[in-house]
Structure 1
Amino acid sequence: MRWIACPTVAVCAVVLLSPPATAASPISLTSGFYVNPSSAPAVWVQNNPNDSRRAQIQGSISSQPIARWFGNDANIASTVASHTGAADGQDKLPVLVAYNIPNRDACGGHSGGGAGSAGAYRTWIASFAAGIGTKPAVVIVEPDALAAYGCLTQVQRDEMAGLLRYATEQLKAKAPNTYAYLDAGNAGWGTPSTMAYRLNEAGVANIRGFSVNVSNYYTTSQSITYANAVNGFLGTARPFVVDTSRNANGRNSDPNGWCNPAGAKLGVTARTGGGAEMLLWVKTPGVSDGPCGIAPGTPAGTFNPDLAVRLINGT
């Protein structure tokens, strides 16, 4: 966080202890994106000093800004506060993913789970937002939740919409210097008009905008075209971000091409602009989508150095 000079100690105390009257851009409050020293690839690099793959993974992946995903955690407020505080101490902008909604990953199933009830989720997301507080941050809200409506009952859909709306309200109220983005699926999943309706229902007006291509492989150009189409149906266009972590070669034609496909390659690293508000590494490169594709023995959420190297080489 950048501090300002104050004429007196008393005035400083007021400035530092009082929350800002209006939300500030987390981009302007920081000097670049945060590199998490505890990301899965960074931990692997630390623990495998003699592995022949180490230099490649360190140079191309673990040294880059990557979002951190947060799930069920009884101490979520302190966990988030610690992470965002570490970034703030370096004047850097952290990217967080809130991923704990009930019926999570309803279609894919490999990352199922989430909070045990609607009430538990409300407590969790309120604590998540409080953990960020006034520190600058970017938050991707519940990847795939809106896109997966087709795999839910109507009762489950209604509950999810309400929980997402509550999440946007909590982030707006408790994390004023955060840019939050509701996830809007990807260019190959649903229609822009349908997604726009769901975004509005889920409270996108409460936050900065929406995210696309999270954990998927569509090119940046395809993703921008899709996002602009969604904006055409929203009523009020919103800023959007694109996950570029693995999209340099695009998505292949395999119906299961979302799950550890061969031939994927790292996309451009985190930056502002590029046709969207930000291009981000939301998915952690090298972390498995599930026991499928070229990593049939690697569970979802587990780092696989061979997957990482194949992403570096595009094989």
Structure 2
Amino acid sequence: MHRRRRGALAAAGTAAVLGLLAGTPGTAGAADTAGEGERNRKQRETRLYVPPANPDAHQQIRELVKAGKYRDAVGVARMIGTPQAVWFDGKGDDTRIRDEIRRTVKDAARRNALPVLALYNVPGRDCSQYSAGGAANTAEYKAWIEEVARGIGHRKALVVLEPDSLALLPSDCGQDDDEGTLTAARYEEIGHAVDTLTALPGTTVYLDAGHSNWHSVNAIVPRLVEAGVAKTRGFYLNASNYRSDDELDWYGKLVSGCLEHTLDGGDPASCPNQWWDEDDARAWLDENVTADPSDQPHFVTDTSRNGRGPWYPDTDQYPDPQDWCNPPDRGLGKRPTTRTGDPLNDARLWIKIPGESDGECLRGTEGPEDPVRGTVDPPAGHWFPEQALELVRNAEPAIRP
């Protein structure tokens, strides 16, 4: 019996690998687990795009099959066959980015799927930390955005515009001058991108609002307003982070309500934030926010790695715990879907590519090893096999074998 089961599992793992290596697309836009509620069943589902996977993920699957670890191989195969964002970071000339974007949106259109494009090229991105880079200046960034727009053209796309661009301004990390020159430039850059991309007929844009354990509602709302959120569909939460769904949904509701209040001329300082008593916050929303969700800014959330929620490190053990940087024992979250059950939450997405490293995490030590893991973490964006297995094995809901 056990031998027969191992044989069946081996066949399943090998078939999954062969299918992926042959370019077989995964199932896009699969609905989440049952029990989301009547409203969830009534929402219309949009098929989401499955991009080509990181080549090192295929190599990991081959190695797992060779080692007889078929269940893990199937899990990684299912993970990379799930809809997730395609990241564009400005490497190469402008013609190249236009062609790359065009290939992506055309491939998605052929599959009758909506691509999620994460644009990540703003000057001074990530405050020159693990994911440092970006365009050299505002003029270069504007030219790059123009080429992105030409690549999208009339086709459909959901754009996650510049992760950390508003939650991590130059002024937040001591990179600006006394006049706030670079922060003003950041708003100009994001504003230009908003104007350019929202002019496209099939493009939906969401702006960076960080996450629920970062800025208060009162602090992030003015940034979104100044960046031009009124011209977009709304904002996104939790990109590359680990906050729980319930926490994000509540934060998103508060940000949305405060945005409506502020755009109507109200003071964002009067809005409830995520640390208010919930009953008091709901009473404020009932009094100050329209009951019609279609009149409010909407949001999307990144559920790629939040299945087990955030990591709570021992702050006495690490000078700078970096709870966002390759935390141990995390799991994949809910599968991407546009059927969320929440009229303000347009989609759960996998914005961060699960299995790709957050960077070489030192947690305030001299390194070079990550003291939590006892190894040198791969550079940001590189495949991290150990973390990929953690995410698969700890997924909530579980990855089907």
TM-score (norm 1): 0.85
Deviation at 1:248, TM superposition (A): 1.0
**Residue identity matched to 1:36:** P
Name the SS for the 1:242 alignment partner: strand
- Name the count of aligned residue pairs: 285
Do the aligned residues in 2 keep the contact of 1:290 with 1:296 (CA within 8 Å)?
Answer: no
Task: Provide the residue aligned with 1:58 in structure 2.
Answer: 77
Q: After TM superposition, list the pairs within 5 Å mapping 1:259-298 onto structure 2.
A: 259-274=325-340, 275=342, 276-292=345-361, 294=373, 296-298=376-378
Shift of 1:45: 5.6
Is 1:114 the counterpart of 2:162? The answer is no
1:253 corresponds to which residue? Answer: 312
* Matched residue, 1:33: 48
Q: What is the aligned partner in structure 2 of residue 101 from structure 1?
A: 122
| Structure 1 partner of 2:386 | 306
The SS at the match of 1:277 is strand
1:238: which partner in 2?
297
Letter in 1 for 2:207: L
**TM superposition shift of 1:43:** 4.5
Deviation at 1:269, TM superposition (A): 0.9
Name the SS of the counterpart of 1:91 in structure 2. Answer: coil
Q: Counterparts of 1:165 and 1:206 in 2: how far apart (Å)?
A: 10
* Distance (whole Å) between structure 1 residues aligned to residue 346 and residue 353 of structure 2: 20
Deviation at 1:46, TM superposition (A): 7.3
The separation in 2 between residues aligned to 1:84 and 1:40, in whole angstroms, is 20
| 3-state SS of paired residue (1:148) | coil
Once the two structures are TM-superposed, the CA of residue 85 in structure 1 deviates from its matched residue by 0.4
Report SS of the residue matched to 1:121: helix
Aligned-partner residue type, residue 392 of structure 2: I
| Contact kept? 1:31, 1:91, Cα under 8 Å | no
What's the counterpart of residue 70 of structure 1? 88
Q: Distance in 1 between matches of 2:248 and 2:210?
A: 10
- 1:207-236, CA deviations, whole angstroms, 9 ceiling, x for partnerless residues? 211100000000111111111221222135
Does the C-alpha gap of structure 1 residues 156 and 203 become closer, same or farther in structure 2, counting only changes over 3 Å? same
Deviations 1:87-143 (A, max 9, x none): 101111111100000010017x10011011111100001111221111111110000
Q: Secondary structure of 2:136's partner? A: coil
1:140 maps to 160
For the 8 Å contact 2:357–2:377, the answer to whether it is kept is: no
Checking the alignment, whether the CA contact within 8 Å between 1:171 and 1:207 is kept in structure 2 is no
Matched, 1:91 2:157: no
Q: How far off its partner does 1:42 sit?
A: 5.2
Aligned 8 A contact 2:331 2:394 in 1: yes
Q: In structure 2, give the amino acid aligned to 1:138.
A: L
Match of 1:37, SS state, is coil
Deviation at 1:155, TM superposition (A): 1.4
Deviates more, 1:138-147 or 1:47-56: 47-56
Aligned twin of 1:15:
none
Aligned to 1:202: 227
In the alignment, does 2:240 pair up with 1:220?
no
Secondary structure of 2:126's aligned partner: coil
Tell me, in whole angstroms, the C-alpha distance in 1 between the residues paired with 2:159 and 2:251.
Answer: 21
Distance in 2 separating the partners of 1:81 and 1:46? 29
Structure 2: distance between partners of 1:273 and 1:197: 29
Partner-residue secondary structure (3-state), 2:184: helix
Match of 1:279, as an amino acid? R
Structure 1, gaps ≥5 residues long? 1-26
TM-score by length of 2: 0.67
Indicate the SS of the match to 1:298.
coil
SS of structure 2 residue aligned to 1:240: strand
Point out where structure 2 has 5 or more consecutive residues left out of the alignment: 1-42, 264-295, 314-320, 362-371, 396-401
The answer to whether the 8 Å contact 2:101/2:151 transfers is yes
SS of alignment partner, residue 115 of structure 1: coil
CA RMSD for the aligned pairs? 2.1
- Tell me if the contact between 1:37 and 1:43 (Cα under 8 Å) persists in the aligned partners: no
- Which stretch shows the higher mean deviation, 219-228 or 93-102? 219-228
Q: Deviations over 1:248-301 (max 9, x none)?
A: 111122341100101211001110132311000000111000112546331110
1:120-173 Cα distance to aligned partner (Å, 9 max, x none): 100001111221111111110000111112114221111101100000001012
Determine helix, strand or coil for the equivalent of 1:106.
helix
CA distance in 1, matches of 2:118, 2:197: 13
Amino acid at match of 2:217: P
Amino acid at match of 1:224: D
Please state how far the C-alpha of 1:180 moved relative to its aligned partner. 1.0
Contact conserved, 2:207 with 2:236, CA < 8 A, in 1?
yes
